[in-house]
Amino acid sequence: MSALSELYEQALKARTRAYAPYSGFAVGAAVLSSSGRIYAGCNVENVSYPCGTCAEAGAISAMHAGGDRLIKDIVVVAGGSKLISPCGACLQRIFEFADKKTKVHLADLEGIKKTYTIAELLPVAFSEEELGK
């Protein structure tokens, strides 16, 4: 199995663990770090709706807690009739741990359908340069 196939399978598996009783929209994400390790996350909703956690945020937090700092690839998988892209906040989260080669793969329940670089999805990302660092 290729690394990308394994990444998709881990995102799909994480999706089955989503806690989405309010929206009914389960999302899974899996990050392949530059070390080759895979970290997964799922969305976790809260009755106070804006307090939930996106799948991408969960996977990135797991990666950081695991000691890795650079995302090589990320797969985001959801059901439905259209592919979903990470939300704006998650695009910024991905960017924080990405380089220009980082790929964002959008998938449905049948597999990966589209691939973008983080720069294509967030061409004018907020960065340390804006902070004067």
What is the number of structural domains in the chain? 1
pTM for the predicted model, two decimal places: 0.94
Q: Residue 133 pLDDT more than 70?
A: no
Q: Using an 8 Å Cβ cutoff, are 74 and 98 in contact?
A: no
Q: Residue 109: which domain range?
A: 3-131
Among 56, 96, 120, 129, the one annotated catalytic: 56
111-117 and 71-78 beta bridge pairing: unpaired
What pLDDT, in 10s, does the model give residues 34-65? 999 999 999 999 999 889 999 999 999 999 99
CATH number of the domain that 37 lies in? 3.40.140.10
Angle at 77 between CA 73 and CA 33, to 5 degrees: 20
What pLDDT, in 10s, does the model give residues 69-114? 999 999 999 999 999 999 999 999 999 999 989 999 999 999 999 9
56: annotated active-site residue = yes
